Amino acid sequence: MSRLTSMTAEVIRQADMKLLGLCCAATVYGIVLIASATNFRQTNRYVIIQSAAMLIGIVFYFIFSCIDIVELVKKWRWILGFNIGFLLLLLTPLGQERNGNRAWLGADWLPVDIQPAEIVKITFVLLLARQLEWLREEHDLRQFSNVAQVGAHLILMLGLIVVISSDVGSALVYVFIFLCMAFAAGAALRWFVIGGACAVGGIAALWATGVIEDYMVERFLTIFDHDLDPLGVGWQQGRSMLALGSGKLWGQGIFNGTQTQSAYKSSLPERQTDFIFSVAGEELGMVGCIAILVLLFAIVIKCLLTSRRARTTMESYVCVGMAGMLIFQIVANVGMCLYVMPVIGLTLPFFSYGGSSIVTLFAAMGIVSGVKMRTPPEWLRA
């Protein structure tokens, strides 16, 4: 028992407690906003689930801090099999559909629904980091055949997510993670240009053939013309802008927001998930929104600093991938609330309601903490 206690104390001592503190501060702040956003429902269910997810997430943070990911990715075939198999579970009776996306696993015996794409993001980052390290050391990332290998990995994951769940928002997160890690690995600039051109051509072809529906295109067009369909496609973001504008500098006060506390369907939609940032803007004003951004970008900076000091290039790429995941979701969600990005169903990390998202984020940051734990001191690296 004493040995276990000493080992636990040692893990806590070596783990990145500053990073954990930032994650907990952001999550607690989010729980307060969720409590306000769901107050009109007269239930504590959302707060209880989010709080439980945070406690589980803290445990996962320390567990993943202890995992040597360099050793873990040697079992890359098993990890790849897990990624594919976990996403394929959405095709079973466990798969649940919401708002046109079959992106959750749920059953009577599960206390909460699970979103596989959220969990697989971690293992995708680990596999991609190992693949990029191997190609950079053994081959050359400037050659087409090697770039095609990592591109095929991305296309496999995108195909599974989009075809099975139609979750375009999650797919875009994977794309941005890939771009960040490939750039960090030194992939030639021409491949980014060629890949971007192919992506634009592919999207145009899918739209022309009817695979991409008109409402998806309208979501992009409405950010350039807010008067395009204000009572239809642009309605959600219009309510978001109204909430943000009414908060001004200091907000209307927590639990006092006009739209946040309204039970009418015409009020702020999806306020505990997609538009949690708008809740902060209405009730806590610009000051509350700035506090959110400061916390989130402090976490991103911690990831990038750990990346610079990592003992191996693979671990460095992993930290870059985790930072990229956070950056895209922050920019996409805040931009969506500010009506400068389309609505793609991405939540705000650590703040939006979602049990599997919170646990996954803490586990991801635990991996970053583990990288920092194994980083040799400055004098030894010198």
Q: What Cα–Cα distance (Å) separates residue 77 from each residue in 83, 127, 138, 149, 229? A: 10, 9, 19, 15, 48
> What's residue 54's pLDDT?
97
> What's residue 272's pLDDT?
92
> What's residue 147's pLDDT?
84
Say if strands 101-105 and 95-98 run parallel, antiparallel, or are unpaired: antiparallel
> What's residue 377's pLDDT?
60
pLDDT category at 370 given cuts 50, 70, 90 is very high
Instruction: Give the tens place of pLDDT for each residue, 163-202.
Output: 888 888 888 999 999 999 999 998 888 888 888 888 888 7
CB 143, CB 298: distance < 8 Å: no
pLDDT category at 212 given cuts 50, 70, 90 is low
Position 269 pLDDT exceeds 70:
yes
DSSP line for 268-334: -SSTTTTTHHHHHHHHHHHHHHHHHHHHHHHHHHHHHHHHHH-SSHHHHHHHHHHHHHHHHHHHHHH
> What's residue 41's pLDDT?
85
Helix/strand/coil for 95:
strand
Decide: residue 204, CB within 10 A, 0-12 exposed, 13-18 middle, 19+ buried.
exposed
H-state helical runs in the chain: 2-14, 17-37, 45-65, 69-72, 76-88, 116-138, 144-165, 168-184, 189-208, 214-221, 235-247, 276-309, 313-337, 355-373, 378-381
Q: How far apart are CA 166 and CA 164, in angstroms?
A: 6
Mean per-residue pLDDT for 49-71?
Answer: 94
CB hemisphere CA count around 186 (13 angstroms): 13
Position 206 pLDDT exceeds 70:
no
Instruction: Give the tens place of pLDDT for each residue, 14-28.
Output: 889 999 999 999 999
- Between 58-62, 162-166, 290-294, the lowest mean confidence (pLDDT) is in 162-166
Position 87 pLDDT exceeds 90:
yes
Position 111 pLDDT exceeds 80:
no
Position 139 pLDDT exceeds 80:
no
Mean per-residue pLDDT for 242-249?
Answer: 92
What b/e readout covers 276-304, taking b as 16+ CB neighbours within 10 angstroms? bbbbbbbbbbeebbeebeebbeebbebbb
Running DSSP on this structure, what letter comes out for residue 114? B
Full-model pTM? 0.93
Domain boundaries in the chain?
Answer: 16-376
Mean per-residue pLDDT for 28-46?
Answer: 93
* Residue whose tokens read 């990005």: 341
* Residue whose tokens read 């394929």: 88
Higher pLDDT, 220 or 32: 32
CB 277, CB 351: distance < 8 Å: yes
Tokens of 46: 């959302």
Q: How far apart are CA 237 and CA 243, in angstroms?
A: 10
The radius of gyration computed from the CA coordinates of the chain, to the nearest angstrom, equals 21
Position 376 pLDDT exceeds 70:
no
Position 226 pLDDT exceeds 90:
no
Higher pLDDT, 96 or 60: 60
pLDDT category at 7 given cuts 50, 70, 90 is low
Q: How far apart are CA 375 and CA 311, in angstroms?
A: 5
CB 349, CB 361: distance < 8 Å: yes
Which residues, in sequence order, are CB contacts of 343 under 8 Å at separation 6+? 219, 236, 237, 274, 336
Q: What Cα–Cα distance (Å) separates residue 101 from each residue in 82, 91, 168, 265, 345? A: 21, 12, 9, 21, 10
Position 2 pLDDT exceeds 70:
no
Share of the chain above pLDDT 70, in %: 92
Mean per-residue pLDDT for 353-374?
Answer: 93
Q: How far apart are CA 25 and CA 28, in angstroms?
A: 5
Tokens of 58: 């803290």
- Between 8-12, 97-101, 168-172, 320-324, the lowest mean confidence (pLDDT) is in 8-12
Position 382 pLDDT exceeds 70:
no
